[in-house]
Structure 1
Amino acid sequence: MTTTHEAPLPEYPMTRARGCPFDPPPDLAALQREAPLTRVRLWDGSTPWLVTRYAEQRALLADPRISADVTRPGYPMPAPARERQVDDDGTERRPSLSFILMDDPEHARQRRMVTAAFTVKRVAAMRPAVQTIVDELIDRLLAGPKPVDLVEAFALPVPSLVICQLLGVPYDDHDFFQVNSRTIIRRTATVEERTAAVGALVGYLDELMARKLVEPGDGLLSRLADRIRDGELTRRDAAEMGVLLLIAGHETTANMIALGTLALLEHPDQLDALRTAEDPAVVAAAVEELLRYLHITHNGRRRVALADIQVGDRRVRAGDGLIMANDIGNRDPDAFPEPDRLDLGRDARHHVAFGFGVHQCLGQPLARMELQVVYGTLYRRIPTLRLAAPLDEIPFKHDGSVYGVYELPVTW
C-alpha cells in the first residue's frame, strides 16, 4: 500500500529575493504562472485563497459576494487582532479603524461623509499649496548639511503637512502620530504594542474632536464635528475615522516618495526622462507607472466570501478567506507587457495599486497630485541628487504592511 503526502501549503506573506528590493517575492510570480488562485497558510494556521492574477483580482474586488468586514468568520487576519474593546453599554467594538473594514450600506454611509474633501476638483485646488510645501522643504534641503536622510527631511514631512492641513490637525504633533502610526502598520508589532498605539491615536483624535465641537475650524475634522452634532456619528466613530485618514494620508505617500526616488536613482535613464519632461502628462504617467511597479501595500487586500464563487476551475466556498496579492497583480504579463521593467512611458493607469471596486482608495486623487508635484519638482531642482550609501545598505521595510525604506541617505 502506497501512502501519498500532500505538499505543504506555501506560507504567506513571502520573502523578496535578496538584491531585488523593488520586485515582489519570486514565489508569488511562480504561483501566478501556475494558477490564478492558490491556497496559502497564514501565521494562525488558516488557509485562505491567494489571488495572484490581475483579472481575477479586479473581478473579485468588484464582486458583492465578498466582504471586507474584519469581524466575519474566515476573514484572513494579517496579525493577531487587537484586544477586545467594549463600549459603556456593553457592546463589543469591531477591531478596525472606521469604515475601511466595513461593508455597505454602513461603509458607504460613512465614506460619503468624507468623500467631498478628496474629489478631483477639491484636490486640484490644493495643488498650489502643496507646491509651496514641496518647494520650501527643498529650499531647506539645499541650505542644509549633506548627506541627508530624505525620508525624515522630505518624504515624510510633505504628506504629513498636507494631511494635517486638510484635516485640521496640528502639525506640531507630528512626532506623536508618526511614531504611533509606524507601530500600527508594523507587521511584527505585538498585540499589546498595536493596541496601545491605536488607543493613543484614537484618544488624541477624540480630544481633538471635542475641541472642534466647541471651536470649529476649516478642516475636515470640523465637518465631522457637524455630523456629530446632527447625530450621524458618535464622537468615538469620528475619532476612529480621523485616525484612518491621518495614517493613510501620510504613511503611504511618504513611502512612495522615498521608494520611488530610490527606484528612479537605480534607473537613471528613466530618471533623466522624468527630470527633463515639460509636459505635465508625462509626469502624471510616470506616477502611475511607479505606483504599478512598486506597489507599496504588499500585504494583500483581504476579504472573505459570503457565497460560493466559481473562479476558473477553483470553487471558493462561503466563509473562505481571500487575499488579493496586488503587488504581483500589477506584474501580471497579461495586463502589463514586460511587467518587471520600469517604463515611465507605459500607460499604467489601469493598475490596482489603489484597489478596485467600492473599497478602492478614497484618497487616491490626493496621493496622485502629491506625487506629481514631488516627482515633477525634486529631481528638476536637485538634478545631481544621488545615493549617499550603497543600495545593499538601505534599510527596507520588510516588516511592515506598507513597504518602503526606513532611511534614504542622499547627497548632491
Structure 2
Amino acid sequence: MELTLRANLRSRIAARLGRKYLARIQKHGIGSTTISLLPEPLVRPLRRDGLDPVAELAEARRTTPVSKVPLPFALDAWVVTGYDEVKEVLAATDGFSTDFTNLAGNAGLGEEHNPGGLGFADPPVHTRLRRILTPEFTMRRLRRLTPRIDAIIEERLDAMAKAPGPVDLVEAFALPIPSLTICELLGVPYEDRDDFQRLSMARFDLSDGAVAAFGATSDSLDYFRDVVKKQRENPGDGLLGMIVKEHGDSIGDDELAGLADGVLTGGFETTASMLALGALLLLKDPETFALIRDAEPDSDTVNVFVEEALRYLTVVQLAFPRFAKEDIEVAGVLIPKGDMVLCSLSAADRDEVLTGDEGDFDPHRKSSGHLAFGYGIHRCIGAELARMELRAAFPALVRRFPEMRLAGAEADLAFRKLSIVYGVESLPVHLEGRS
C-alpha cells in the first residue's frame, strides 16, 4: 500500500512539473532561455539548412520514421518523419485528437487562449464548422476573386517599380498579396485594411515571445467579433456575410470570429512564405526563372512549378499536434494513449517513397500527393486559394522584372529559426540588370 501511495505521489508530482515545464515554454516561447529544455529530436523538425531540412531529419526518416522522444517528468512525444507513416497518422481521425483541450490540459492554458477555428477541433465540432466553410472555398466561388488577385499583384509590382534602390520582396510582394486577398475573401471593409494587415503580421512576430503572439491573436479575435457584429447587421458578399446569410444564428459570433481568424492564420503567413521562398528558388535557378517567364499564361508549366515548389519547400513544417485517444499502432509501433505525436511534413515531402529520388527541386516534376497542405480532415481548406495566388504571382513577377537579381549574397539571407512556418526574414533584390 505504501509503495503504491508513493508511486501515485511521484506520478502526480511528475504531471505537475510537466505542466509547469510546458507552460514555461508556452509563456516565453521557444527561445534561448527555453530551447535547452527541449530534446534535440523534438526540435529537429523545425531546423533547416537553407531551404533543406537538416540531414539528421532525413537520417531519422530512413532509420526510425516513428521515433519516441522522452520528455522531462515522464511525458512522452513521438516524431513521425516517413511519408507513409505521416499519412497514416493524419488519416487516423478516430485514433488521434487535435482538440485544444489536450494542449490546455498539458500546458496549463485556459479556454481564453483557444483560437477557435478548425485546427484545434475534433468531429463532430470540426465536421459542422468545416461544412459551413467548404462552400465558400469551392472553385466556383473563389473564381470571383481572380480579377482582384490580379489587380493586387499588379498594384504591388507597380509600387515596386517606383521604389528606389533594392526592394525587399518579403515586405513589398510576399506579405501584401495574401493579406489583401484574405481581406477580399472575408469581406473586410476597405477602411480597415491597414489595421487588418497589422493584425495579420503581428500575430507571427515572436520577437517579444509567445505572450505577445497570444496578445496579437486576442486582438485579432476581438477585431473579428466586431466585424461579425457589423455583418450581422448588414451582410456583405464576402465569406463572413455569406455565412451570416446562409446560416444565421446557427453559428455564434465567437465561432464565426474563430473561423475568420483561422482563415487568416492558415492563409496569410503560409502563402507569404511560399511567395518569398518560391521567388528565391527562381532567383537561384536562371533556367527555371526563364521557364516561368516564357510560359504561357495559365499553362501547365506554371502549375507544375507551383506544385513542385509546394512539395520542396513545405513551409508548414509540422502538422497540428495529435494526441492518441487510445493505444494505437503506427507502422507497427505502439503509441500509448495520451502521448503527443508530431508529424514532420517537411521530412515526409522529401521521402523517396513520394519522389522516387533524393527529393531535390525539379521544376519539371509533376508532384502529386505532397503534404504541403496537410492530409485528411485537417487538410488546408484554403489550398485552392493559395494555388490561385501562387500561379498568378510568380509569372507576373518574373515577366515584369526579367533582369531581377539578389541584392547581396545568398549566404547573407536570414531564415527563420525554429519556426513552424518556415520563411526568410527579408529578400532584397535589384529589379533591373547591371548598368
> 1:131 & 1:241 partners in 2: Cα distance?
26
The answer as to whether partners of 1:188 and 1:399 remain within 8 angstroms in 2 is no
Q: CA 1:116 to 1:313, structure 2 compared with 1: closer, same or farther past 3 Å?
A: closer
The answer as to whether partners of 2:221 and 2:261 remain within 8 angstroms in 1 is yes
The answer as to whether partners of 1:330 and 1:339 remain within 8 angstroms in 2 is no
> 1:217 & 1:392 partners in 2: Cα distance?
47
Is 1:324 aligned to residue 343 of structure 2?
A: yes
Match 2:291 to one of 262, 273, 290: 273
| Mapping for residues 249-264 of structure 1, pairs under 5 Å | 249-264=267-282
369-378 or 295-304: bigger deviation: 295-304
> 1:171 & 1:405 partners in 2: Cα distance?
29
Is 1:240 aligned to residue 250 of structure 2?
A: no
The answer as to whether partners of 1:22 and 1:263 remain within 8 angstroms in 2 is no
> 2:396 & 2:155 partners in 1: Cα distance?
11
Deviation at 1:273, TM superposition (A): 1.9
Deviations 1:366-401 (A, max 9, x none): 001110001222112211111112112222122432
| Mapping for residues 260-409 of structure 1, pairs under 5 Å | 260-278=278-296, 280-409=299-428
| Mapping for residues 112-131 of structure 1, pairs under 5 Å | 112-131=131-150
64-73 or 277-286: bigger deviation: 64-73
> 2:332 & 2:206 partners in 1: Cα distance?
33
Q: CA 1:394 to 1:184, structure 2 compared with 1: closer, same or farther past 3 Å?
A: same
> 1:177 & 1:399 partners in 2: Cα distance?
26
What root-mean-square deviation, in Å, do the aligned CA atoms of Structure 1 and Structure 2 show?
Answer: 2.5
Other-structure match for 2:69: 40
> 2:205 & 2:325 partners in 1: Cα distance?
29
Q: CA 1:275 to 1:353, structure 2 compared with 1: closer, same or farther past 3 Å?
A: same
SS in 2 for 1:39: strand
Is 1:84 aligned to residue 110 of structure 2?
A: yes
> 2:352 & 2:295 partners in 1: Cα distance?
28
Deviation at 1:182, TM superposition (A): 4.1
Deviation at 1:45, TM superposition (A): 7.7
> 1:235 & 1:225 partners in 2: Cα distance?
10
> 1:43 & 1:126 partners in 2: Cα distance?
49
Other-structure match for 2:42: 12
The answer as to whether partners of 2:228 and 2:256 remain within 8 angstroms in 1 is yes
The answer as to whether partners of 1:186 and 1:399 remain within 8 angstroms in 2 is no
TM-score, structure 1 normalization: 0.87
Which residue identity does 1:273 align to in structure 2? L
Is 1:97 aligned to residue 116 of structure 2?
A: yes
The answer as to whether partners of 1:61 and 1:357 remain within 8 angstroms in 2 is yes
The answer as to whether partners of 1:149 and 1:409 remain within 8 angstroms in 2 is yes
Q: CA 1:371 to 1:343, structure 2 compared with 1: closer, same or farther past 3 Å?
A: same
> 1:258 & 1:303 partners in 2: Cα distance?
29
Deviations 1:255-301 (A, max 9, x none): 11011101221122222222222261110111000000001112343
Q: CA 1:43 to 1:386, structure 2 compared with 1: closer, same or farther past 3 Å?
A: farther
Q: CA 1:391 to 1:360, structure 2 compared with 1: closer, same or farther past 3 Å?
A: same
| Mapping for residues 91-240 of structure 1, pairs under 5 Å | 95-170=114-189, 172-186=191-205, 190-226=209-245, 230-240=248-258
> 2:312 & 2:342 partners in 1: Cα distance?
19
Gaps of 5+ in 2: 1-37
Which residue identity does 1:34 align to in structure 2? T
Gaps of 5+ in 1: 1-7, 86-92
Q: CA 1:331 to 1:224, structure 2 compared with 1: closer, same or farther past 3 Å?
A: same
> 1:405 & 1:359 partners in 2: Cα distance?
26
SS in 1 for 2:312: helix
Match 1:29 to one of 33, 46, 58: 58
Which residue identity does 1:84 align to in structure 2? G
Is 1:52 aligned to residue 78 of structure 2?
A: no
Which residue identity does 1:253 align to in structure 2? T
Deviations 1:28-72 (A, max 9, x none): 111101122011356998431111000111122111211121313
SS in 1 for 2:53: coil
The answer as to whether partners of 2:85 and 2:331 remain within 8 angstroms in 1 is no
> 2:213 & 2:128 partners in 1: Cα distance?
27
The answer as to whether partners of 1:74 and 1:304 remain within 8 angstroms in 2 is no
Q: CA 1:392 to 1:207, structure 2 compared with 1: closer, same or farther past 3 Å?
A: same
Other-structure match for 1:3: none
> 2:125 & 2:58 partners in 1: Cα distance?
36
SS in 1 for 2:102: coil
Which residue identity does 2:333 align to in structure 1? R
> 2:85 & 2:135 partners in 1: Cα distance?
31
> 2:210 & 2:360 partners in 1: Cα distance?
39
% identical aligned pairs: 35
SS in 1 for 2:164: coil
